[in-house]
Structures are given as C-alpha cells and as structure tokens.
A and B are shown apart, each in its own frame.
Chain A
Amino acid sequence: MSLAANPRQFVIRLIFISIAVVMLIRLFFLQVVEDKYKVMANDIAILRKVVYPPRGAIMDRKGRPMLYNVKVYDLMVTPRNVTKQLDTNALCQALRIDIPTFEKLLNKTRIKNGPMRKGVFMEELTPEQTARFQENIYLFPGFEMAERFTRTYPNASAALILGYIGEVSPEMLKKEQYASYQQGDYTGMNGLERSYEDVLRGQRGVHFLERDNFNRPREPYRGGALDTPEIAGRSLELYLDAELQEYAEKLMVNKLGSVVAIDPSTGGILAMVSAPSYDPNLLKGRDRARNYSKLYSDATKPLLNRATQASYQPGSTMKPMTALIALDVGAITPSFGYPCAGGYYACGRRIGCTHSGGGHAANLRVALANSCNSYFVHIFRLIADARKFGNVKKGVQAWANYGKSFSFGEKTGVDIPFEGKGLLPDSNTYNKMYNGSWNSCTMLFVGMGQGEVALTPIQLANAMCIIANKGFYYKPHFVKSIGGNTKDPVLKPYLEKHVVTHIPDSTFDIVARGMQDVVERGTGTVARMDGIEICAKTGTVENKAVVNGQAMKMKDHSVFVAFAPRVNPKIAIAVIVENAGYGATWAGPVASLMIEKYLLDSVSAKRKHLEQKLYNANLVNKYIFAIDSAQRLRDQARMERRTRLRLAEDSAGRVQDTIRAKRFLHRYYTNKNRE
C-alpha cells in the first residue's frame, strides 16, 4: 500500500495532531491566560506563619523588673496521633480532670483544628500539672507541651502606669494606627504598654512555610527567601522607684486620691499612685475579662488614674504659683505686704482668712507661710488689673497664659495615655459666664485656688518642679531609657527644657523660704523632719458633689505639695486625699513620709506613728457608693433615652421610605394604566 493509496493514515495523524492542539490551547488558557490558579495554589499550599518576638520588659530606676515575660506551657494535642496506647486515666490524673472533660476537650480540639493538626488542648498549665505531665510523658502519645510567654508583674504594683495588653478588637483594626495588626494580635491597652507599644512590641516575623494536604507545615517556602525575621521588643528603664511606688501604694490603702512624685532635675516620675489601686496581675491571662468588669463596676473607680485623669481645685496649694506670676509680671516685689485683718473686704464681701494677727502678711515669705487668703486674692487682682495689660480681660488672659505655660488646663504630655487637662479659666471663660461684664472682683477666688480652676495631681507636682527648678521644667515622664539608650528619638520631647518664668533666683529663694516656713512654723509642721529642708504648701479644698439631685458640700479634700531639699531639690511631690479633711492631716504625712523614704531610704522611728496612722485609716466615705450608684443609674437612664431616640429616628426614617415607595408605585401604576 503506497502513501497515496491510503488517505486514512492522514486522517489518523490529523486526529493525533488536532487533539494535541486542543490540549495546547487549553493549557495555554489554564497556565498563561488565567491568573486565579496561582493565587489558589498559594492559598492552599503556603502557610503564613507569624512569629511573635518576646515583648520588651520594663525595669525601674535601679534595674529591678516591674513587668516581664514568663514562660507558660500549653498542652497541645494532635488528635490523629492519640492512639490506644494513651493512658487516659493517667493523663486525667496528671491534669486533675475527669474523663468526660477529657473527651470534651479532645473533641473540641478535633473540631477546631481537624484531626491532623496540632491544637491547644489546655491553656496555661499550672506548674503542678506541668510536672505531673512531664513525669509520664511517654504514656501520652499525641500530647505535647508548647511554651508561650505571658506578661507578669512581679511587684503587683503600678497597675495603671504599666498598663496591660489585650487582643485588638475589630473596631481597633479598622483604624489606621492598627494597620499592621491582625485579628488575635495583642496590643497595649493602657499605661506604658500602650504608649510604648511600638518599642515594646518589636517587629513581628513572617515565615512562609509549605503545607501539605492535611495542613501540616512542612519545609520553608523557597528556602525561606521571602521570610522576614522577627526583632525582639526593646526594654524600658523607668525613673520610677519600685520600692517608693510600693510604699506610696501602701500609704494610700483605703483612701481615694493620688500621689505624684517627680525628680525636678529630669522630669522623671519617681512614683505615681492612684488610690485605690489594684493588682495588675488580675488583668492578664484567662480571667482578664471577668476581673476587668469587676474593677469597672467598682464604686471607687480603681480603673480611673486619678493622678492624671482626675482634676481638683488646688486650694491653697495654688498660692505659690499666684505669687510666681505676680512676681514675673512685676505686680509685686518680694517685700510687698498686705494689711490683712482676718478678711478681704475690697470687693464688697468678706473673704475669710484664718489669721487675723497684724503682719501675718507683711511680705511674700510671711504671707506664704501663713497662707493668707487676703494676700493672694489681692495680688491676683493686682495681676489682673496690672496697668501694663491695659484692662482686666487682657490681664486675666495674661494670667491664663502663664497658667498654660505651667501646663495648667493642658495635658502635661506625660507618657501614659488618657491624660486629663484640668481646668484653667481665661477671659473667654468669664466672658461666657458673665456675658462680658465682669471685673477682677468677679473671679478673685482663683488666686487662692478655688473657683473655676482645677488641676490634675500631675500638674500640681509639675508646678512644684518649676518652683524647685527656679523657673523651668521638663515634661513629667516615666521612661529614662529605651533599650539602654537615653537619647532615643521617642524620648526627645522629654529632653526639652521648658522655661516658664524669668524671675531672678534670689526671688525664687524667697518663695522657697516661704514654703519652708510652712513646714517649720506654718500650717505644715507635720512634715518637718531632721536634716532635710522641706518646702511645702498645704491645701484644704472645699468641694461639692451632687447627691439626690442637689449639690451638697462634702468633706474637704486634703492636699499637700512639697519639694525637698530646698537647695538642689531631688523630689517634688503632690498628694491629694479625697474628702479627708485638712491638708496637713492626711496628705501632709503621706508626702513627708515619701520624701523621707526617698531621700533617706528609711523612715525614722520618730515618724513611724504617722505610718501606722495612715496604714490604719480608712477614708473611703460610705456615701461614695451611694453617689456612684446614683451616677450609674443616671448614666443608664441617659443611655436608654438615647437608644429610644435612635430607634424613633430609625422608624421615622422607615416610615418616610415607605411613603416614598408607595408614592413611586402609585405614580408608576397610574402612568401604566394611562398608557
């Protein structure tokens, strides 16, 4: 048979070739034109494993750990590898669980991860469980331990300062700030954990692994060429003195209030207490949510950082600042005196003064020591009405500007979040209040720290720093160095010196000596101690609270500010004890004990009785609970009202939509019928 004779061989060749061509076309579409298969292949075969580096630790000024990571063990299980050899009884014995619980947990893991993949069987084994498990590990095929790190607070103090970490919520993930986070990641929720999140967190590593059809990770994808290594978080060293902090917390037990102690030469915070405080270890691990809601609903509001968030009228503790401003403005000289005879009558009504003796306000130093109300009200008026400002509005504005430069009415910029601003009135405030018609008599109370002015404890402590430093301050802050580097760019704002007055040092000395006199022979003798020259000012602050719908006068806040020693000050401190009484009774001892503890490292036997008095005192008034529950009821009512309003708006909107739809349909059908 010759080639020409049989055309069928060509038919067969044609079939062969055409099938091959069809295949090639199909392959071309599958491999070159379509892109989705590449994505699908990566999705199924590549496991993106995020590796979390250890979070940075936090140490106090002496390098003592305040917050670090500890290893905990999770019990993992691969359900498929759990064979008949497993000694279930022994395992249940080791973990102290019963067999139904065991079955339940095993099933839960199996459902969550599938039988082939390792899953968490039990979280955070106790040391006893770990030990018993490890003893007999050969009896438990398929089970193994996986180590993990959690945060721990060895001192159980400084809860609000250190903060805590928690899982990022879906709402947070929507924000740009959290763009680099994923569901399930942890982030600092409060305190330093939050402010220094980027530093502490380090950098997550991403490893790409190949996985097989049972989702088991195998070897690195492309030999790990695409992986990014994890970078450990850096640790923070604080100015905080852990011992002092603990001492302060102990002194403030069973009181409401706060203590802020700052090293004036650096702005570093030595201790910060908001009482009542709580054990930060409550807000970690398995019971976090439960403990949080318990703390949240506590009437004493332990989650509120009173040191930075609550503001109080400063009372007499405002007087040194009023004096500074008056001096800087040139309204008075240190020798300026006021003939107070037990009251201030210049504005038509009496403003009481506790002293009436002649010459108790003969000059600035004496007036400070005796805390003469008339004197400071008067010099405040002198500032406001100073000729160089032109009129009282400009005068008060100038006063307010001074306040602002002291960071009153503004955030101090401390490096923990949610700081409050306090209140500082300026001309605008009074224009609004009095419709533009007011004069220096209207608001002279602010000169003595009552009225519209309110300061946070940290602002008060910062003001003490200004006096101690003779006219400048550094922003109060906690962190001394990041990973050993004191000049880290993150810390830059805290290295900047803020100069607020231009009063000569000799004049400052007079203010300081006046404050020293407060301790030596004035209102604050409780703070006196041998060997240290303490400059201080007491304050007893009248305050009101709304009870049963009407404002009621409550027990005075006890306030005490101080710095020491007078020459080369090492510590500036502000103490507030809410609703406790005279400044010298409660806040004074706390401040002086703290100073003694910090400067001398121990409290002298002579003053131990003050310690005991504070330890034993319970100054949490019962009516706090009533006020709190009333407040909560009001909040709830407001919430309900808002919800009702929103629902009403919604339904109104819906009704309108319905009307619109009906109108449309009506028009549509009438048009149709017409056609």
Chain B
Amino acid sequence: MSATSKSIFSRLDGVTLLLYILLVLIGLTAVFSVEYRSTDPSIFMMNKSHMRQFIWLCISLFVGLLIIFTDSKFFSSFAYLSYTIGLFLLLITIFAGVDIKGSHSWLGVGSVRFQPGEVCKIFTSLALSKFLSSPETNFNTLKHRIIGAALALGPAVLIILQKETGLALVYFCFFLVMYREGLPNIILIIGFSMVALTLATLLVDRWILFGVITALTIGGGYLIRRELKRNIVARIVIVGVWLFCILFSQVLVPFAFKHVLQKHQVERIYSTLGQDVPQAYQRETQKNGEVKKGNVSDYNVKQSKIAIGSGGFWGKGFLNGTSTKNAFVPEQNTDFIFCAIGEQFGFFGSAILIIIYVSLMLRILFLAERQRSAFSRIYGYCVASILFFHFAINISMTIGLAPVIGITLPFLSYGGSSLLSFSILIFILLRLDSDRQVMIR
C-alpha cells in the first residue's frame, strides 16, 4: 500500500469520475425521454425503464464503492481465477442460456437476467493485463503473442456459439491493447488491408478484383525488381501475398458469406453498403418465391437516420422527439439510444456527447500511461479499447456508417448488466489509479 496519507476518495481521479457520472446521467435522461408520456401520472413509475435503470445505477455505484474499498492488489491476483469463472459461465450459458431476441447469451435466475459475455470483458481485461505484465511473458515471442490472442479471443469463440456475434466482435478490441504492448505494426496494417479487401470483394466484381490484385502485385514486383532478383525470400513473400489475396477474395469471403454468416448479418452488411444482397449470397428460403423489398435492418437504420437527421442543429427539444417517443426506432432504449440524443438535442447535443466520450477515453489513456505498474497500464488500455469499440460501432451503426451489430452504447443504453459491467470496469481502473505508485503484479 502506498504511504500517502490522503484518503482513498481524494486519490480517485475526479475528471474520470465526473465524465462517468455525466454520461450515466445523459443516459438516464435519454431513456426517460423515450418512454415518458405527457399522460403519465408521475415520473417515478417503477414499471418504466428509467426507474429500473436508476436502480441499476445505484447498484453500480454501490459495487463501485465496494471496489474502491478493495485492496488494489486483489484485482491482479484474482485475474486468472475470474477469467476461468468467466469462461465457465460462458460455457454454462451455451447449454443453459435463455433465448432473448434470437440470441442465446443470457443467464436467467428468476426474473433477473444477465449476460455473462458482458461481464466476461472485465475478467478478460484483468487476465490479459496480468498475462502481459507478468515478468515471465516476453511479448516479442510468437508463442506469447499467440497465448495473448487466445486469451482475448477465447471468450469470443464461446460467445459466437451463443449466437451473439456482436458481443464477440468486441473482444477483437484487445488487439489494440496488444498493439500498444508490442504487437508489430504489420498486424495493424494487415488488419486494415483485410477489411479493405473484404469490402472490395463485396463491392467489385470478382474477376475485375482478380485482375486488380494481380496488376497491383506485378506493379509492386516491378518496383522492387532488384530485390526480387537478389532475394528469394522477397519472391516467396510477393507470391504468397498474391496467393493469399486471391484466396481471400475469391474463396474465403464468398464462403463466409454463403455458409458462415447468418442471413441477417449478410443483409446488414449489404444494407450498410447501400446495396441489395446479390443472388449468390441469398439463402434458399429467400430465392424461392418471396420478393423482398428492403430488409429489417434496413428499416432500423432508416428509422434511426430519420430520427437523428430530423434533429437538425439544435434538436427538437427535450421530450419532443416524435420518432423516438413513438417507438419508430426499434431497440431505441438499448442499442439505438443515441437516436434519442440526436433527435432531441440535435447536432449540438450529439457533438457534445461525442466530445464527452472522446474526453473520457483519452483521459483513461492518460491515466493508463501514468501508471507505474504495467498491469494497471495494460488494464487501462483494455478499458479504453472496450469503450472505444462499443462507442465507435454503436454510434456508427445508428448513423449508417457500420452494419447493425447489437452492442450497447456504454453508460447510456438501458440495461443492467451493461451498465454494471462498464461501471465495474471504470471503478477498477479508478482503484488501480489511486494506487498508481504501487507496483502491482
């Protein structure tokens, strides 16, 4: 324990706490505005979401208080155990989960339900931090890199088995952490290239793409022809890259779209690109008979865009959101809560929200960088990355920049397990930060 004489509360980072409270209050307001009716007898109605969310907020703050009174070393020592528990919970969910809206990722005890995948993010963050910060780990070796990746993606695999792909995708954010901790630059580049190549595959005719890739390879080879003459490795690399690109674009992506991804996922991706699903990727049921005019996710995004777009610069005013109040946007309490802000407070309010968010994430990065112990730093990066991933995907999907992936907007979306798990993430970070001079292993 640090020898500082100040109390634990004064050592907590005020800025982070303030931003956190701000976001939670904005969230409460948004949830309230969506469900409130002028005919309601009072605003304190227990059957309404905002009151339940308020109770969850109280629970979260209480848990936060518990965390603050916990020894900061506890989190690192508890890391692997919690990770194991998390995996175990995920496994149980596969078999004993409750079906809610097509996903199988909820555990139910009576009327209380929670999503282990949501909580497992905390455990994974802790475990990854523990692993990367341990002195035995040399992250420059391939073996340890693979272990790191496995730690991050293990839960994701289990979550995919629960048919909750969106949540599983979040676990990819840990690559950002690993990048910070020494994953080579090339990983980032390869990652972006693969995304670009996937998009190109979907948008461009396959034979034209084939030609373009080949031409690019030949062009590249011509530029480094001297190298190619001298170096056999270079030749192997360039042929390998070409082969991989061709394989990826001609075989892997079509295969994934035909057989791995589900119908609604294919539709969502194409609707984001603003195109119809091509014949080749349409499923049997679709081909026979029915002619589809737009699909469901198209409807979601359209309504969400209408809600946000109609807000204008200053917004329609608090409680005047006609689209959100009257349930035109599906899932507007949870995944599409940003619509309520966009519609009622306009560009002005949305921009302020985004600025608050980015400030919070940058503040967390700042906190992470000032830690003495690697565990705390890496954990801080985990928190920032998770927040960033949720934030980026959620808002992008509401404004039509990304396909609809069912993940929440942290602190704002209605939902107990989401609010609680993000609060725990933040409070653990605050606790670790209050002991930033202490080496935690």
Contact = CB atoms under 8 A, between A and B. Distances in A.
A16 interface: yes
Contacts of B343: 41
Interface string B318-340: 00101101111000000000000
Interface string A41-84: 11011100000000000000000000000000000000000000
Nearest to B37: A219
A20 B354 CA distance: 7
Count class of interface residues, chain A: 35 or more
Interface stretch (B198-206, B277-285, B356-364): B356-364
Given A12-B176, A31-B311, A212 B357 contact: no
B401 A211 contact: no
Given A31-B342, A218-B37, A8 B326 contact: no
A221 B322 contact: yes
A34 B308 CA distance: 11
Interface stretch (A21-29, A385-393, A416-424, A652-660): A21-29
A391 to B, nearest CB: 80
A466 to B, nearest CB: 65
Contacts of B361: 16
A23 B399 contact: yes
A226 B90 CA distance: 54
A31 B369 contact: no
B184 to A, nearest CB: 11
B24 interface: no
B38 interface: yes
A44 B306 CA distance: 9
B310 A28 contact: no
B392 interface: yes
Interface string B169-196: 0000000100110000000100000000
Given A37-B306, A38-B310, A221-B322, A24 B351 contact: yes
A6 B188 CA distance: 16
Contacts of A16: 358, 361-362, 365, 384, 388
B288 interface: no
A6 B369 CA distance: 10
Contacts of B117: none
B79 interface: no
A32 B357 contact: no
Given A12-B176, A40-B310, A19 B369 contact: no
A23 B310 contact: no
Nearest to A17: B358
Interface residues of B, dominant DSSP: helix
Contact of A210 (B325, B351, B362, B384): B325
Given A31-B350, A40-B306, A45-B328, A23 B179 contact: no
Contacts of B114: none
B347 A31 contact: yes
B181 to A, nearest CB: 9
B326 A212 contact: yes
Interface residues of B, number: 47
B305 A30 contact: yes
Contacts of B309: 30-31, 34, 36-38, 40-41
Contact of A45 (B313, B326, B355): B326
B346 interface: yes
Given A31-B350, A37-B310, A26 B358 contact: no
B428 interface: no
A218 B319 CA distance: 14
B409 to A, nearest CB: 12
Given A24-B354, A31-B308, A37-B309, A213 B326 contact: yes
Interface string B381-399: 1001000100010011001
Contacts of B320: 222
B307 interface: yes
Contacts of A219: 37-39
A38 B312 contact: yes
Interface in A616-669: none
A3 interface: yes
A127 B343 CA distance: 50
Among all A-B residue pairs, the 4 with the closest Cβ atoms: A37-B309, A41-B310, A45-B322, A212-B326
Interface of A: 3, 6, 8-9, 11-13, 15-17, 19-20, 22-24, 26-28, 30-32, 34, 36-38, 40-42, 44-46, 210-213, 218-219, 221-223
28 contacts: A6-B180, A8-B180, A9-B180, A9-B365, A9-B369, A13-B362, A16-B388, A19-B392, A24-B351, A24-B354, A27-B308, A27-B342, A31-B309, A31-B311, A31-B346, A31-B347, A32-B312, A37-B306, A37-B310, A41-B310, A44-B323, A45-B322, A45-B326, A212-B326, A212-B328, A213-B327, A219-B38, A221-B322
Given A16-B365, A31-B312, A37-B310, 19 more contacts: A8-B179, A12-B365, A13-B365, A16-B358, A16-B361, A23-B354, A23-B401, A27-B399, A30-B305, A31-B308, A31-B309, A37-B309, A38-B312, A41-B310, A41-B322, A45-B326, A213-B327, A219-B37, A219-B39
